[in-house]
Every structure is written in structure tokens, then in C-alpha cells.
């Protein structure tokens, strides 16, 4: 579990080594996290299966770009459960995803992680 929640090296490979762009995308992602968590919770209280599936799917794509593998996996699990319409533990899956998102937010807000990005970005 000590594994880093975001593999920025993976992200950098996708971005062709562009650290400025990576920093910008990280900010966009972090900025959106509270909104996503609220959206997922709202959809789960109204039992809107389609909306949960859509939100999880969108999140999966963005998480993949940033190398946020934990979020990506949790989002995929949730998306597939919603699509299968099984009597799965949706609340539990949602909680898993929310927890992963919070880990990512905390990691990306860590000054040493940001410092590393900006410093190397100033090359």
C-alpha cells in the first residue's frame, strides 16, 4: 500500500517528457477531485446507475493519462459493476474510488512532489 498513487514517470512518457504540461494537467485533475467525489456521491444517493458508470468511465480516462493507476483500477471496477447491473456493493466500490482519489490529491499536493515537478520543469 506504500506504493505511490501516481506514477508521474508513466504520465511523462505519455506527454513526451513535457513537464510543464504535466504540471498543468496535474493541477486540472486536483482541482476537479472534490467535484468528482460530490458527483459520484450524488449519483449513488439517487441510484443513478448510468450516471455513476459515466462518471467512473470519464475518471478512468483522465487517471490513465496521469498514471494514477489506483484510481484507474477503482474506476474501472465501479464502471464494470454498474454496467453489469449486478447487485454489487456499489457504496463500497464508490468508497474505494473516493479513497483512491483522496490519496492522489494528497500526493499531488505534497510540496516535495510539486517542487520536483517545477524544478525539473525549469530546465
Residues lying near other proteins in the complex (CB under 8 A)? 14-16, 18, 21, 24-25, 28-29, 32, 54, 57-58, 60-62, 64-66
Q: Which is nearer to other proteins, 17 or 92 (CB)?
A: 17
Closest distance of CB 62 from other proteins, Å: 4
Nearest to 62 by CA among 110, 95, 97, 92: 97
Q: Which is nearer to other proteins, 89 or 118 (CB)?
A: 118
Closest distance of CB 72 from other proteins, Å: 9
Listed in sequence order, the residues at least 6 apart from 73 whose beta carbon sits closer than 8 Å to its beta carbon are: 100
Q: Which is nearer to other proteins, 83 or 119 (CB)?
A: 83
Buried b (16+ CB within 10 A) or exposed e, 71-100: bbebbbbbbebbeeeeeeebeebbebbbeb
Closest distance of CB 28 from other proteins, Å: 5
Q: Say which DSSP state 18 is in.
A: -
Distance, CA of 70 to CA of 5 (rounded, Å)? 6
Q: Which is nearer to other proteins, 29 or 94 (CB)?
A: 29
Amino acid at each position: 500500500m506504500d506504493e505511490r498513487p501516481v506514477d508521474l514517470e508513466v504520465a511523462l512518457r505519455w506527454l513526451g517528457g513535457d513537464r510543464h504540461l504535466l504540471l498543468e494537467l496535474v493541477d486540472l485533475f486536483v482541482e476537479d477531485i472534490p467535484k468528482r467525489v460530490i458527483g459520484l456521491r450524488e449519483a449513488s444517493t439517487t441510484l443513478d446507475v448510468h450516471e455513476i458508470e459515466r462518471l467512473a468511465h470519464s475518471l478512468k480516462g483522465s487517471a490513465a493519462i496521469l498514471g494514477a493507476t489506483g484510481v484507474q483500477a477503482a474506476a474501472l471496477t465501479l464502471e464494470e459493476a454498474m454496467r453489469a447491473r449486478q447487485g454489487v456493493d456499489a457504496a463500497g466500490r464508490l468508497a474505494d474510488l473516493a479513497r483512491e482519489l483522496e490519496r492522489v490529491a494528497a500526493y499531488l499536493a505534497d510540496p516535495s512532489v510539486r517542487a520536483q515537478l517545477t524544478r525539473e520543469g525549469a530546465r
